[in-house]
């Protein structure tokens, strides 16, 4: 196939010269940043605003103690009976401090996940301009916990929120080996396939709640 591609490209060479000569080539414009770099606090607020605009929920808390309380509240308010947790250390710590009545499954097999109504993971990065979570599988086993249960609760450190997608792409591709799967999540699962009417929660989680911890370092 590569030989055929080369042959066709070679056949095009004379046309290309004519084509290029007749084209006033435009200067390739540089895209400017959508969001000016700003303070961590500004990025957290923008993250929440963007996430809420796509039907996600967001709670901003100061430290892990507040995060544990918030997590308990989210589990209870959403009446979750059985939650699966990823192997993230911070999720483990928070669950220890969360005396909720829900049954908790660690290392759940895919079949078991289908019977969970909540999945709790952390996220490696956030993107403020779109309210996006970035999940890297080299850091955590969260590919299915964040996807199969009807509700996804994610823990995100405030100092890991970037302004833009471009910064997040650089972060996942430069810090060591690229994960097997990098997943970007922006709000709950959605579809407009029936008469363009928005329906939330078709295959993935119908609810997404992100708890942003402003200062993780203080509590570690």
Partner 1 sequence: MDLQTQTTETFDENARRALVDPQLRSALRKLTVTFGERRAQAIGSVDDWEGLRERARAIKDETLSHLDKYLADFADKAERAGAQIHWADDGKDVCELIIRLLQERNAKQVVKSKSMATEEIHLNAALEAAGITPVETDLGEWIIQLAHETPSHIVVPAIHKSKKQIADLFVEKLGIEPTDDVDRLTSAARRILRQRFAEADAGISGVNFGVAETGSILILENEGNIRLTTGLPKIHIALMGIEKVIPRFADLDVFLKLLPRSGTGQRLTAYQSIITGTKKSPGDEGPEEVHIILMDNGRSRMLAHPVTRQSLACIRCGACLNACPVYQQIGGHAYGSVYPGPIGAVITPQLIGIKKAAQLPYASSLCGACREVCPVKIDIPELLLHLRAQIAEGTAITTEAPPRKALESFAFRMYAFAWSRPWLYELGGRVLRVLQRPAVRDGRIGKAGKLMSKLMPPLGAWTAWRDARPLAPRSFREMWRADNQQRG
Applying CB under 8 A, the residues found at the interface with partner 1 are 1-2, 4-6, 8-9, 11-12, 15-16, 19-20, 26-32, 34, 54, 110-111, 114, 129-130, 132, 137-138, 141, 143-144, 147-148, 165-166, 169-170, 172-173, 177-197, 199, 201-205
DSSP 86-113: -S-HHHHHHHHH---SSEEEES--HHHH
CB of 116 to partner 1, least distance (A): 13
Under a CB-based contact definition with an 8 Å cutoff, are residues 56 and 208 in contact? Answer: yes
Q: Which is nearer to partner 1, 96 or 174 (CB)?
A: 174
CB of 18 to partner 1, least distance (A): 8
Q: Please, how many CA atoms are within 13 Å of residue 128, restricted to the half-sphere of its CB?
A: 23
Q: Which is nearer to partner 1, 81 or 218 (CB)?
A: 81
Spatial distance between the Cα atoms of 15 and 24, rounded to a whole number of angstroms: 16
Q: Which is nearer to partner 1, 64 or 117 (CB)?
A: 117
Degrees, nearest 5: CA angle 213-215-220: 100
Under a CB-based contact definition with an 8 Å cutoff, are residues 110 and 125 in contact? Answer: no
Q: What is the CA radius of gyration of the chain?
A: 22
Q: Which is nearer to partner 1, 61 or 148 (CB)?
A: 148
CB of 129 to partner 1, least distance (A): 8
CB of 136 to partner 1, least distance (A): 10
Under a CB-based contact definition with an 8 Å cutoff, are residues 209 and 151 in contact? Answer: yes
Q: Which is nearer to partner 1, 70 or 149 (CB)?
A: 149
């Amino acid at each position: 196939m590569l030989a055929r591609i080369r042959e066709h490209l070679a056949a095009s060479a004379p046309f290309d010269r004519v084509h290029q000569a007749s084209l006033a080539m435009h200067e390739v414009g540089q895209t400017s940043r959508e969001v000016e770099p700003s303070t961590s606090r500004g990025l957290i607020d923008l993250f929440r605003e963007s996430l809420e605009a796509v039907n996600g929920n967001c709670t901003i808390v100061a430290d892990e103690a507040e995060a544990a309380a918030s997590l308990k509240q989210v589990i209870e308010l959403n009446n979750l009976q059985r939650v699966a947790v990823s192997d993230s250390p911070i999720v483990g710590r928070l669950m220890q401090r969360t005396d909720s009545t829900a049954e908790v499954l660690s290392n759940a097999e895919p079949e078991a996940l289908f019977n969970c109504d909540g999945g709790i993971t952390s996220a490696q990065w956030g993107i403020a301009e779109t309210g996006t979570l970035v999940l890297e599988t080299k850091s955590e086993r969260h590919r299915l916990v964040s996807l199969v249960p009807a509700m996804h609760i994610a823990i995100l450190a405030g100092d890991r929120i970037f302004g833009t997608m471009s910064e997040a792409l650089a972060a996942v591709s430069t810090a060591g080996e690229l994960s097997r799967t990098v997943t970007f999540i922006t709000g709950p699962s959605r579809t407009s396939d029936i008469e363009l009417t928005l329906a939330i929660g078709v295959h993935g989680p119908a609810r997404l709640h992100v708890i942003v911890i402003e200062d993780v370092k203080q509590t570690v």
